[in-house]
Amino acid sequence: MKVIFLGTGGAVPTLERSHPAIAVFFDGEYILLDAGEGTQKQIMRSGLGFAKLTRVFISHLHGDHFLGLFPMIQTLSLLRRKKRLEIYSPVGLKDVLQELIDKAYLEPRFEVKVFEIDNDSSFDFGKYEVKMFHVLHGDTETFGIRVKEADKPGKFDVKKANELGVPITLRGLLQKGIPIKTPSGRLVLPQDVMGPPRRGKLLVYSADTRPCK
């Protein structure tokens, strides 16, 4: 997991700080936590590019947290994106986006799939899990966002594998969790040569909120 802060400003941007947006990069893809005004320009400046963006998670529907979505969708369409973009948000964003698309005569070249959330929700994407949970921000429905990287396999114990007579050609199977038999007929289980799983990194984004449990 790699975290890039694209915007850390408040409701009014400054010359040094853009509206809220955080990119969380995994192997081969990245997601956004919020997408305030100017997010697409910050993506360009960061060198991330748009091709590996797969999902956007919006904490709440105050403009400084989501108004960068529409211009970014327009840019992605102009760049002839084909891959679906998923957006997870509190209820209400779908209608806002559709109204903007209609009024601007924009027909995206790719699917924009909006999932509206009204309860604490968890999503498993394989490489990572995302949990959206309610936090307190006045009368505005607001979600904190928890991103958990998937656990990684433990380290391969080369010394132990040698002692058990595991050929190099079969070690990859053990690393994938598949038992093998050595040329001598000995059954070797993955746990015989693999260390304990390495816990994935964890990121929690509280968005705009006052202290709460």
Calpha distance 77→79 (Å, rounded):
5
200, with CB counted inside 10 A (0-12, 13-18, 19+), is middle
Q: Which amino acid does the sequence have at 41?
A: K
* Residues annotated catalytic, as ranges: 64
What is the number of alpha carbons within 13 Å of residue 208 lying toward its C-beta? 24
The encoded tokens of residue 30 equal: 């990245």
**Count of beta carbons in the 10 Å neighbourhood of residue 48:** 18
Q: Is residue 53 within 8 Å of 84, Cβ to Cβ?
A: no
Name the helix (H) or strand (E) containing 170: helix 168-175
Length of the chain in residues, anyone? 213
The encoded tokens of residue 46 equal: 């960061």
